[in-house]
Chain A
Amino acid sequence: MTRQDSLPKDSHVYSETTEQLLRELVAHLRQSRTQLREEWARRITEARVLTAMTKEEIFAEATSVYDNYVEALETGTFEALQAYARNLSERIIPRGVETHEVVGIVLLLRDVLARSLFAKYRDDFEKLNRILDAYEPAANRIANTVAVGFVQERERVIRQQQEAIRELSTPVLQVRERLLILPIIGLIDPQRARQLTEQLLRGIRTNRAKVVVIDITGVAAMDATVANHLVQTVEASRLLGATVIVTGLSPEIAQTLVNIGVDLGKMNTVGDLQGGIEQAERLLGYKVRPLAETA
């Protein structure tokens, strides 16, 4: 009975002490704000991180980071800090600031503050220990929050760019009535291959295409999965009544396709894009002549 009673009471007392300690800590950090902030900015410059930013910018950011840091320590909530970290990342990522720099400066701040605590409580070792007990977990969480915020923002930017590249890199173009070309450039993964096929099939239907030239000059390598996708694309296009001509197979890709034994019997291949378009024109009944000849 006594034990059951004492347990929550103990933890309550403990948390109150932690809170008290943190309050004391925050008061100290507020008091020494100017001095600690300058010390931090100096150490950032010394460590030669954030070279993409000017001294004034670093100082301005350092001030807001410092205030957010102290606030997070005081309130124990990290939402404001998280939002700030995201916002900061949004601003500094385009300027080429790296992850190690962001993590580095937050750790520097942690160290600067810890040093100041050592200096302040150097006579009361017991107290210093308790203060550090309260400070360290909170400081580590802050460092984590900022680093994770930065990395997440970076990943978001990367995802956005990937999507943009993907959309840009698969244009289905009409070069003549009922003739489409699909130039494929870069790496093809199964996801992109599927997207490509879908776009092509939609293109065939909207443009009422009879012939499609798929040019893969810009594709460096191809594995079995992607090769099979290509074969499927050709077959699916045929089901919609369009003939596919594949052009620009590099010697390496030709070698791979032969090695993995992809059935290319159904594929109509021509050496280069020009040849492909010429054959497509023949299939469609076009004849291109120089003007002089017609005159």
Chain B
Amino acid sequence: MEVPILKQGDFLIATIQAALTDADLMQLRSALVHQVVRVRSMAVIVDVTALDVMDSFATRTLREIAHMIRLRGAETVIVGIQPEVAMSMVQLGLTLEGVTTCLDLEEGLVYLNQKKAKSTG
């Protein structure tokens, strides 16, 4: 299932709606990395609220997305990790280091808007 990517002001929002196959993840990665420069986005938000498991491949891909997008000149925020998912992720040693995480989409937008206000003001 393809992940819809919405443009919202200066940000791109990708909401994952169901468990993704590895191919879906690769597709998401390439779509985000392409679009972020094409639409001149400041940041990308990946919403994983709907995921109740996060395996090592998904975690690694999310981290790769974040790092690639940084190289493309934008920032990535992962939002909506469930408490149970967070627990099992740290137990497996998957900690998404170097990637910003926020409680949910709202928090992510607040964080990015503050950051934008700081850099422009």
B37 at the interface (CB under 8 A from A): no
| Beta-carbon contact of A241 and B101 below 8 Å | yes
For A240, the chain B residues whose CB sits under 8 A away are: 81, 83, 86, 101, 103
- A95: interface (CB < 8 Å): no
B107 interfacial by beta-carbon distance below 8 Å: yes
B92-103 Cβ-contact flags toward A at 8 Å (1 or 0): 000111000111
B90 and A232 contacting across the interface, CB-CB below 8 Å: yes
On whether the beta carbons of A236 and B103 are closer than 8 Å, the reply is no
Q: Are B87 and A204 in contact (CB under 8 A)?
A: no
Chain A 171-209 per-residue mask, 1 if CB under 8 angstroms from chain B, else 0: 000000000000000000000000001100110110010
Please give, as numbers and ranges, the residues of chain B lying within 8 Å of A197 by CB-CB distance. Answer: 87
Q: Which bracket fits the contact residues of A?
A: 10 to 19
Contact of A205 among B79, B83, B91, B97 (CB under 8 A): B83
Query: Contact at A202–B83, with CB atoms within 8 Å?
Result: yes
The answer on a CB contact under 8 Å between B83 and A204 is: yes
Q: Quick check: is A246 within 8 A (CB to CB) of the other chain?
A: no
In the complex with contacts A241-B79, A241-B101, A241-B102, A236-B107 CB distance below 8 A: no
CA separation between A89 and B57, bound complex, in Å? 56
Between A and B, how many residue pairs show CB distances below 8 Å?
48
Determine the chain A residues whose CB is within 8 A of the CB of B103 once the complex forms: 204-205, 208, 240-242
How many residues of B are counted as interface, with CB atoms below 8 angstroms from the partner's CB atoms?
Answer: 17
A208 to B89, CA, bound (A): 20
Pairwise interchain contact A239-B95, C-beta atoms closer than 8 A = yes
Q: Are B83 and A235 in contact (CB under 8 A)?
A: no
Question: What's the minimum C-beta distance from A243 to chain B, rounded to whole angstroms?
Answer: 11
Q: Are the CB atoms of B107 and A239 closer together than 8 Å? A: no
User: Considering only CB atoms, which chain B residue lies closest to A231 in the complex?
Assistant: B90
Known: A239-B95, A239-B96. A198 touches B102 (CB 8 A): no
Residues of B contacting A43 with CB < 8 Å?
Answer: none
**In chain B, what residue has the closest Cβ to A237?**
B86
**Are the CB atoms of A239 and B91 closer together than 8 Å?**
no
A236 to B96, CA, bound (A): 10
Interface residues of A (CB under 8 A from B): 197-198, 201-202, 204-205, 208, 232-233, 235-242, 266
Task: Name B residues whose Cβ lies closer than 8 Å to a Cβ of A.
Answer: 79, 81, 83, 85-87, 89-91, 95-97, 101-103, 107, 111
10 residue pairs, one from A and one from B, having the closest CB atoms: A201-B83, A241-B102, A236-B86, A239-B86, A232-B90, A241-B103, A235-B90, A236-B90, A239-B81, A235-B95
